[in-house]
Amino acid sequence: MNVNKIVTALALLGSLLAAVTPAQANPEQDRQNMIKTFKDKFPDLKTEDYVYGALALNKDALGQYKSIMEFPPYTTELDKAEKLWNTPMKSGKTYADCLPNGGKMIAGNYPQFDNAKGKVVTLEMVVNDCRTANGEEAWKYGDDKTMGLLTAHLRTLSDGMKVNIKVEGEAALKAYEDGKKTWYTRKGQLNFSCANCHVLGAGERVRSEILSPMIGQATHWPVFRGGSNLVTLQTRYKGCHGSVRHVGDEPGSERYNNLEYFHTYISNGLPMQASVFRK
Ligand code: HEC
């Protein structure tokens, strides 16, 4: 075969492959693959139990968690959160006045891709748009005294809602792919990716902790660790990046927003419950 024929044959093969292989990954396929990975790993775990994270893999700890949740040690914080939620902004309007559906049953729709803005929008960004439109300054995503506290109430208004993230169109898919890349990229001196610990390593013990599976990880934020230490989802991302000695981003960065988009998509269909207890 001469060179020309080989080139033609390769080109033909290339176009055939292009026809059967999608140019980019398919988010729903990713989610199904992840479900299958964990079904093989934890055949006894029921889908709905993934919302408990590592607790689902330890019966005693799950029992303790359930009794703690009957009288959470951070009710004072939740009261403060509700008060903040009800405090009118400079314009006289409240958050309920300016958020979609009065802020109820909406958290499961975020993050979402905003085509007009050309980027991923988190629920925290919607709160900030609401604040700046009503004469207030924007807050930082990771600030536990302001944004974190407000969302500790706001997100409970979506308890029971199923995670419902949509990835539609090229630009949205690109943001999703970017988040996926962050999830699978090894970082820090330990050279670990999120997937190393929360997919391959899920169920393994690291020091005194069991590593939670990826599915369900995005359903219950913020969390209160120990007594009343409020931690937002992206603060947790930064903490996990720190645990492999990688200096993570400030919560609210585009990289973390895209990561949250991908990460939350994988929990689609699971019920949300905000402001839960974690060790
Ligand atoms: C060296 C292992 C390690 C790596 C790498 C790691 N984590 Fe973690 N992560 C942990 C440990 C330990 C915990 C606490 C136990 C648990 O809930 O899994 C945790 C907890 C979490 C939680 C909270 C789960 C819950 O239900 O409270 C989230 C979310 C999370 N990690 C996301 C990430 C993301 C995103 C990355 C990548 C940026 C990442 N982790 C990388 C070890 C790791």
Per-residue pLDDT of the chain (279 residues; tens, 9 = 90+): 444 454 444 444 444 444 444 456 699 999 999 999 999 999 999 999 999 999 999 999 999 999 999 999 999 999 999 999 999 999 999 999 999 999 999 999 999 999 999 999 999 999 999 999 999 999 999 999 999 999 999 999 999 999 999 999 999 999 999 999 999 999 999 999 999 999 999 999 998 899 999 999 999 999 999 988 999 999 999 999 999 999 999 999 999 999 999 999 999 999 999 999 998
The alpha carbon of 10 and the centre of ligand 1 are apart by a number of angstroms equal to 44
pLDDT, position 14: 44
Residue that is written with structure tokens 């600030």 in the block: 143
The alpha carbon of 99 and the centre of ligand 1 are apart by a number of angstroms equal to 30
Which residue minimizes the CA distance to atom 35 of ligand 1? 237
Residue that is written with structure tokens 């009118």 in the block: 88
What is the end-to-end Cα distance of the chain in Å, rounded?
67
Q: CA 95 to CA 187: how far, in whole Å?
A: 38
The alpha carbon of 240 and the centre of ligand 1 are apart by a number of angstroms equal to 5
The values of phi and psi at residue 106, to 5°, are: -120, -20
**Ligand 1 atom closest to the CA of 183, numbered from 1:** 37
pLDDT, position 237: 98
51 lines ligand 1 (CB under 6 A): no
Contact 142, 250 (CB under 8 A): yes
pLDDT, position 24: 60
278 lines ligand 1 (CB under 6 A): yes
Mutate to test the pocket of ligand 1, among 236, 273, 277 (most ligand atoms within 8 A of CB): 236
The alpha carbon of 237 and the centre of ligand 1 are apart by a number of angstroms equal to 7
The candidate with the shortest Cα–Cα distance to 34, out of 263, 273, 271, 204, is 263
Contact 188, 240 (CB under 8 A): no
Q: CA 104 to CA 97: how far, in whole Å?
A: 11
192 lines ligand 1 (CB under 6 A): yes
The alpha carbon of 239 and the centre of ligand 1 are apart by a number of angstroms equal to 8
Residue that is written with structure tokens 């890349």 in the block: 181
**Ligand 1 atom closest to the CA of 244, numbered from 1:** 1
Contact 274, 155 (CB under 8 A): yes
The alpha carbon of 32 and the centre of ligand 1 are apart by a number of angstroms equal to 21
The alpha carbon of 252 and the centre of ligand 1 are apart by a number of angstroms equal to 18
pLDDT, position 11: 47
Which residue minimizes the CA distance to atom 41 of ligand 1? 194
pLDDT, position 103: 98
Question: 261: which residues sit within 8 A by CB, 6+ positions away?
Answer: 111, 113, 120, 165, 167, 175, 176, 179
The alpha carbon of 212 and the centre of ligand 1 are apart by a number of angstroms equal to 7
- What angle (nearest 5°) sits at the alpha carbon of residue 161, between those of residues 157 and 162? 150
CA dist 72 to 20, 36, 52, 79, 251, Å?
A: 52, 34, 16, 12, 26
Which residue minimizes the CA distance to atom 24 of ligand 1? 217
Question: 17: which residues sit within 8 A by CB, 6+ positions away?
Answer: none
Q: CA 83 to CA 222: how far, in whole Å?
A: 17
pLDDT, position 207: 87
Which residue minimizes the CA distance to atom 2 of ligand 1? 197
* Cis peptide, bond prior to residue 222, ω within 30 of zero: yes
- Please say whether the dihedral angle defined by the alpha carbons of residues 209, 37, 163 and 116, taken in this order, is positive or negative: positive
Question: 126: which residues sit within 8 A by CB, 6+ positions away?
Answer: 99, 100, 110
